[in-house]
Structure 1
Amino acid sequence: MRLRNKPWAKDMINDNLDLIAVQPENMPGKWQDRFEKKQPLFIEVGSGKGKFITELAQQNPQNNYIAMEVQEGAIALVLKKQVELKLPNLQLLLANGADLSDLFAENEVAGVYLNFSDPWPKTRHEKRRLTYKSFLKQYQYILKDDGYLQFKTDNQGLFEYSLISMNNFGMKFDEISLDLHNDEVLNAKNIETEYEKKFSKKGFRINYLKAQFEN
């Protein structure tokens, strides 16, 4: 989802470089230095307006989180929330999700969240899907041996594709739901994104999975 340009975004980012990394090429293996405490590190690739990641960080002070966005306008909206909240366990990152293995060290991350990623439905765009094998390879590289990937989407085609892609990659599934909001156990711990809240109200089913890589 492409957001409108935010004229104020650049200035806000430049004024809060303690909360957001914009030149992360020297950060692999050093991300914990940006947090008050060294704790398990989780990242959300594509944080949108930040509802999910800020609530997750608030509910889990025992973990550190990174909200990652490629769009300056989007990450600025997350930053606006964080400037108010000042969560000590949340950092922001303006970068492309295709470069994860250049941004994080091997075995540095405890979990990766993919929420309502662009489905790229055309076959010729398959390699852009965040569950394509080249992306899975990067997640495997940055995740710890017991790390996990959590994925949510309202797009049935993307979900089916992702199940096949992950299975072919040799991943194991810990949790799967084709209707997350009607699964009492899994939905009890679910945190909605802005997009998820909007489209679930319209009757869209939310697909969910949690998976790990075989070691």
Structure 2
Amino acid sequence: MRLRNKPWAKDKLEQYPQYVITSPQLLKGEWNNAFELKQPLHIEIGTERGRFITEMAKANPHVNYLGIELQPSVIVTALERVIEADVTNLKLLNANAADVTEYFAKGEVDRVYLNFSDPWPKKRHEKRRLTYKTFLKQYEDILIDQGEIHFKTDNQGLFEYSLTSFSEYGLLLKWVSLDLHNSDFEGNIMTEYEEKFSNKGNRIYRSEVKYR
């Protein structure tokens, strides 16, 4: 997908410090101070345009949410959603997800969401997949004991690879669906990509895994 550059995006992000975290390193070990209430923290890595994380925050006021997205021209759309939602348990972070251990201390995060991550289908790009073992190690380093990863994709190859990666790392598989939208799962909140791919007839795959 071609990304339309928005040269004004960074300036707009800086105009809303109440919603956008600009210096995450300063909050390492102190993330509760970024929110009004001390609550469990769930992060979405690759939050894209913010539909999922915003709706999750509205539906679950007892949880704090942080959406992480690298591209300013993308996350600025998420910012517009957050402003409209006007909730206190949601923040955004314009940063590289490869550096999460620089932003969070051990046990600061209760759950990680990976939604429709880039599949990086070529073997030589395996290390870039967000379910590769080095990323799983980073998530383990910031999650609480027995913290969870919730993963969704429409890419069968990535899903199969990820289940193998989870298993080889020693994660416990709690729940899996090979066709989410025709399952008995309740309360599913779709991402923009999920709606797009589902409307094309693509199956949606979902899993929940837990560190031991």
TM bracket, shorter-chain basis: over 0.9
Give the aligned residue type for 1:191.
I
Give the aligned residue type for 2:194.
E
CA distance in 1, matches of 2:47, 2:188: 16
**2:75/2:94 contact within 8 Å kept:** yes
Deviation string, structure 1 residues 147-200 (Cα, Å, up to 9, x no partner): 21000000000000000111000000100001000002x1x2211001000110
Question: 1:71 corresponds to which residue?
Answer: 71
Unaligned stretches of 5+ residues in structure 1: none
CA distance in 2, matches of 1:83, 1:12: 12
Alignment match of 1:209 (pick from 200, 207, 210): 207
Give the aligned residue type for 2:197.
F
Shift of 1:25: 1.6
Q: Indicate the SS of the match to 1:18.
A: coil
Give the aligned residue type for 1:40.
P
**2:46/2:70 contact within 8 Å kept:** yes
Question: 2:20 corresponds to which residue?
Answer: 20
CA distance in 1, matches of 2:14, 2:97: 21
Question: 2:188 corresponds to which residue?
Answer: 190
Give the aligned residue type for 1:150.
H
CA distance in 2, matches of 1:20, 1:172: 33
Q: Indicate the SS of the match to 2:81.
A: helix
3-12 vs 35-44, greater mean Cα deviation: 3-12
CA distance in 1, matches of 2:41, 2:190: 20
CA distance in 1, matches of 2:119, 2:128: 9
**2:58/2:85 contact within 8 Å kept:** no
Shift of 1:2: 5.2
Q: For 1:32-111, what aligned pairs fall within 5 Å after superposition?
A: 32-111=32-111
Deviation string, structure 1 residues 5-60 (Cα, Å, up to 9, x no partner): 12331221111112111221222111111111010000000001111000000000
Q: Indicate the SS of the match to 2:48.
A: coil
CA distance in 2, matches of 1:2, 1:211: 32
Give the aligned residue type for 1:47.
T
Change in 2 beyond 3 A, CA 1:80/1:179: same
Runs of 4+ displaced beyond 4 Å:
none
CA distance in 2, matches of 1:85, 1:200: 25
Q: Indicate the SS of the match to 2:189.
A: coil
Change in 2 beyond 3 A, CA 1:66/1:182: same
Q: For 1:168-183, what aligned pairs fall within 5 Å after superposition?
A: 168-183=168-183
CA distance in 2, matches of 1:194, 1:19: 21
CA distance in 2, matches of 1:7, 1:94: 15
With normalisation by structure 2, the TM-score equals 0.97
Kindly tell me the number of residue pairs found equivalent between the two proteins.
212
Give the aligned residue type for 2:73.
G
